[in-house]
Homo-oligomer: A and B are copies of this chain.
Amino acid sequence: VDTASPPARRHQRNARGQGARLTGDIVSGAVAVIEREGSAEAVTLRAVARQIGIAAPSIYAHFPDRDAIVMAVVTRVFGELAAAIGYGTEAAGPDPVGRLVAGCEAYVGFGLAHPARYGVLFSGRRAQDYAAAGPAARGRPESGSEAFGLFVSAIEDCVSAGVCASTDAAADAAALWVGCHGTVSLRTALASRFPWPEPGGFVRGLALTLAKITVTEQPRATE
Other-chain contact of A182, B178, B197, B205 (Cβ < 8 Å): B178
Q: Are A197 and B174 in contact (CB under 8 A)?
A: yes
Q: Are B185 and A122 in contact (CB under 8 A)?
A: yes
When distances are taken between beta carbons in the complex, the residues of chain B under 8 Å from A68 are none
Q: Are B122 and A193 in contact (CB under 8 A)?
A: no
0/1 interface trace, chain A 111-149, chain B, CB 8 Å (1 if under) = 000000000011101011100100000000010110010
- Asked whether A132 and B185 contact (CB < 8 A) given A202-B175, A209-B210, the answer is no
When distances are taken between beta carbons in the complex, the residues of chain B under 8 Å from A182 are 177-183, 185-186
When distances are taken between beta carbons in the complex, the residues of chain B under 8 Å from A205 are 175
Q: Are B128 and A191 in contact (CB under 8 A)?
A: yes
When distances are taken between beta carbons in the complex, the residues of chain B under 8 Å from A209 are 175, 209-210
- Shortest A214–chain B CB gap in Å is 13
User: Which residues of A, 30-70, contact B by the 8 Å Cβ criterion?
Assistant: 38-39, 41
When distances are taken between beta carbons in the complex, the residues of chain B under 8 Å from A194 are 144-145, 148
Asked if A200 lies at the interface with its beta carbon under 8 angstroms from chain B, I say no
Q: Are A178 and B186 in contact (CB under 8 A)?
A: yes
- Shortest A189–chain B CB gap in Å is 4
- Asked whether A144 and B190 contact (CB < 8 A) given A41-B41, A205-B175, A209-B209, the answer is yes
Q: Are A193 and B41 in contact (CB under 8 A)?
A: no
Q: Are B195 and A129 in contact (CB under 8 A)?
A: no
Q: Are B38 and A125 in contact (CB under 8 A)?
A: yes
Q: Are B202 and A128 in contact (CB under 8 A)?
A: no
Asked if A84 lies at the interface with its beta carbon under 8 angstroms from chain B, I say no
- Shortest A47–chain B CB gap in Å is 15
When distances are taken between beta carbons in the complex, the residues of chain B under 8 Å from A181 are 182, 185-186
CA distance A104 to B67 in the complex (A): 35
When distances are taken between beta carbons in the complex, the residues of chain B under 8 Å from A180 are 182
Between A127, A129, A206, the greatest number of chain B beta carbons within 10 A of the residue's beta carbon is seen for: A206
Those 10 A-B pairs whose CB atoms lie nearest each other, nearest first: A182-B182, A178-B182, A122-B189, A181-B182, A171-B197, A181-B186, A178-B183, A128-B190, A185-B185, A178-B186
